[in-house]
A and B are shown apart, each in its own frame.
Chain A
Amino acid sequence: GDSVTQMEGPVTLSEEAFLTINCTYTATGYPSLFWYVQYPGEGLQLLLKATKADDKGSNKGFEATYRKETTSFHLEKGSVQVSDSAVYFCALSDRATGANNLFFGTGTRLTVIP
């Protein structure tokens, strides 16, 4: 079945450090891949997405590239800020199994210290 495996946290970085959060997936068909972010006390917000192999999603300085050969969708940011502190969820939807669901990873908590 479909699943997402996400780098375990928590991750603590200093401001302006480079961020990588690893995400790999297993899917039956041709999934779309997403990163959602959850700030303290709030719901999930879409950060970026990619719908096919080699697509790069980007938003707010974050990037992730859909790598079919390694079944990965790692999240990166060149210089993190304190305001990036949040929980990050990798997710996929798979049209082969019914696109009306998102499979989430377990989330990675990022804390950025000044």
Chain B
Amino acid sequence: DAMVIQNPRYQVTQFGKPVTLSCSQTLNHNVMYWYQQKSSQAPKLLFHYYDKDFNNEADTPDNFQSRRPNTSFCFLDIRSPGLGDAAMYLCATSRDVTGGANVLTFGAGSRLTVL
């Protein structure tokens, strides 16, 4: 089945130790997103790639970076995780449809714990 796969599902890191989360998709969607979801809150968009074009949200901290080496893969790098970065990180994809509804397909998420 075509899907969005996130690895790892659970990541524990120490304060300040860099972390990389990965996302892969078999849907051949041209748009990929990273959302941060803290406990009992709505998902918050960090950034997205439209093909190779990177689009950063204005309030995303510099501590968060992303790479998309090809259509299928996208990475979230947290350079120096703080306690406040503990959250579920959701990857999503969509096919840009002019004039249509932008339906996102989400992965299962990567839960980050910062000690």
Given the contacts A51-B100, A99-B102, A106 and B42 also touching, CB distance less than 8 Å:
yes
* List of A residues within 8 angstroms of B50 by Cβ: 100
Give the residue of A32, A41, A43, A100 whose beta carbon is less than 8 angstroms from that of B106. A43
- How many B residues are at the interface, by size bracket? 20 to 34
Q: Is the CB of A104 within 8 A of B42?
A: yes
Give the interface of B toward A (CB within 8 A).
4, 6, 31, 33, 40-43, 45, 48, 50, 55, 90, 92, 94, 96, 99-109
Give the interface of A toward B (CB within 8 A).
32, 34, 36, 41-46, 49, 51, 89, 93, 95, 99-102, 104-107
Q: Can you list 30 A-B contacts (CB < 8 A)?
A: A32-B102, A34-B103, A36-B106, A41-B108, A43-B107, A43-B109, A44-B106, A45-B106, A46-B103, A46-B105, A95-B99, A99-B96, A100-B33, A100-B48, A100-B50, A100-B55, A100-B96, A100-B102, A101-B33, A101-B45, A101-B48, A102-B43, A102-B45, A102-B102, A102-B104, A105-B42, A106-B40, A106-B41, A107-B40, A107-B42
